Each structure stands twice: as C-alpha cells, then as structure tokens.
Amino acid sequence: MKQERLQSPRGIILNLGSGARRFGHKTLNLDLFSAEGVDIQADVLRLPLKDESVEAIVCTGVLEHVCDPRQAVQEMCRVLKPGGRSYLEVPFMQTFHASPGDYFRWTAAGLQQLLRPLCIIESQVTAGPASALAWVFQETMAMLFSLRSDLLYRIGLRVFGYLALPLSWLDIALEGHPLARQAASGFSVLTVKSPGGAKQELN
C-alpha cells in the first residue's frame, strides 16, 4: 500500500487493528488490545470517534477476526469524511488463525457485498493461489505428523511453514493470472466514501 494514495496533506490515517505498526507520524493507531504503539484501545465495532472525522483508514488482516464485519464497515463509513479513502485486506483461502477469534472468509463477490456502503475504486489479489496452497500444505503436514500431540503440531507448523515458503514464491507468476481470484489467499481493495458514486465490480 502506498500511503500517499490514502492521505490528504492535512489528513490523519486511522489504522484499525494496528498492533505496533505505524504508517507515518500522522497515523492514529487503534487496537482491541493495549500495547506499545497503540494510541486508542477500542473495538472496531464501536469506534470512539466523531462522525466524518477521519481522512483515511487502513484495515489489514482484521475483519476476519471481527464477529460482525458488516457493522465494522458501517463504523468505518461513519467516521470517514466524504471523499475519504480506506484500504482493506481480507482473506479468502486461508486456514484458521485466531486473534483472538477467526470467523470469516470472503470471495471477491462476497467482499463487494460486505463493502456496499463504500465505493470500490480498485481491487487486486494480494496473496495468490500459491500462498493459499502454502497455507494448506503447512497446516496439513503439521497435522499429519503431529501424532495427535499439540506440541508436535505446533513444532510442525514452524517446520512446514519454512518448507512451504518455496510454494508461495510461485505467486510471482500466478498473482497476475486472470483466474487468480478463483483460489487467491487474499484480496485488497481501495475504497472511497462517495454517496453518489458507482461501485467498481470485482471480477
């Protein structure tokens, strides 16, 4: 993500589910958990911000962990100023990864429905079919060699995670494939809050 595509000269970026990541000095970090680098501890379902008070939003790898992602999108739309932009990344074909929960996955068409309050101006595959395959390989092999032991399973996740890395490199060729959306690991979208605008279809 290029920060200049989101931020106006005077604007502040709201980073939802930030952890310690900060995208520049004008970023406001919000997370469910208190930690170093977190400016606001709050739930994305109830943002403690005024209506139309934010210039831009970043939300990456968060919505799958929210029990009501549609409400989260409504909250993002509420706090965005008219013309404000948001950048989101969501999973499609990924294995379970709780943080603290893990509830949802989206196809390209499902993502369009989720973001209906906002206008999609750009979308792309951010992690392609090879990354999806690497996730499944890691999980399957760790499970297979765990002998039903939780400790061996966790060790296997690390070992087979390293072994799966070469598989994910195939995305160099696959992410731009016209059928990559059929089995992508995840998608990204750039949206704008524009009440009268038309949505761009996610193919």
> 3-state DSSP call for residue 85?
strand
In a domain, residue 199? The reply is no
- pLDDT greater than 70 at residue 104: yes
Q: Do residues 99 and 24 both lie within one domain?
A: yes
Q: How many structural domains comprise the chain? A: 2
Would you place residue 189 in the very low, low, confident or very high pLDDT band (cuts 50, 70, 90)? Answer: very high
Would you place residue 135 in the very low, low, confident or very high pLDDT band (cuts 50, 70, 90)? Answer: very high
What integer is the mean pLDDT of 123-151?
97
Which pLDDT value is given to residue 9? 41
Q: Do residues 136 and 51 both lie within one domain?
A: no
Which pLDDT value is given to residue 195? 64
Q: State which residues form the domain around 97.
A: 3-128+181-192
Q: Which amino acid is at 159?
A: V
> Which of 17-26, 67-76, 82-91 comes out lowest in average pLDDT?
17-26
Dist. CA 17–CA 60, nearest whole Å: 8
- pLDDT greater than 70 at residue 40: yes
Residue 54: CATH number of its domain: 3.40.50.150
In a domain, residue 198? The reply is no
Closest CA to 103 of 90, 117, 116: 90
Percent of the chain with pLDDT over 90: 82
What integer is the mean pLDDT of 39-56?
94
Q: Do residues 187 and 115 both lie within one domain?
A: yes
User: Measured at the alpha carbon of residue 58, what is the angle toward residues 23 and 188, in degrees to the nearest 5?
Assistant: 115
- pLDDT greater than 50 at residue 67: yes
Q: Do residues 101 and 158 both lie within one domain?
A: no
Which pLDDT value is given to residue 22? 84
What integer is the mean pLDDT of 105-126?
95
Cα distances from 85 to residues 50, 95, 138, in angstroms, run 17, 29, 35
What integer is the mean pLDDT of 109-128?
94
In a domain, residue 96? The reply is yes
Dist. CA 191–CA 121, nearest whole Å: 5
What integer is the mean pLDDT of 148-153?
98
Q: Which amino acid is at 16?
A: L
Which pLDDT value is given to residue 197? 44
In a domain, residue 168? The reply is yes
Q: Do residues 140 and 186 both lie within one domain?
A: no
Q: Do residues 69 and 88 both lie within one domain?
A: yes
Q: Do residues 77 and 7 both lie within one domain?
A: yes
Q: Do residues 91 and 152 both lie within one domain?
A: no
Within a 10 A sphere around the Cβ of 162, how many other Cβ atoms? 9
What integer is the mean pLDDT of 53-80?
96
Q: Do residues 45 and 83 both lie within one domain?
A: yes
- pLDDT greater than 70 at residue 201: no
Q: Which amino acid is at 197?
A: G
In a domain, residue 138? The reply is yes
Q: Do residues 121 and 27 both lie within one domain?
A: yes
Q: Do residues 122 and 162 both lie within one domain?
A: no
- pLDDT greater than 80 at residue 50: yes
In a domain, residue 197? The reply is no
Q: Do residues 21 and 107 both lie within one domain?
A: yes
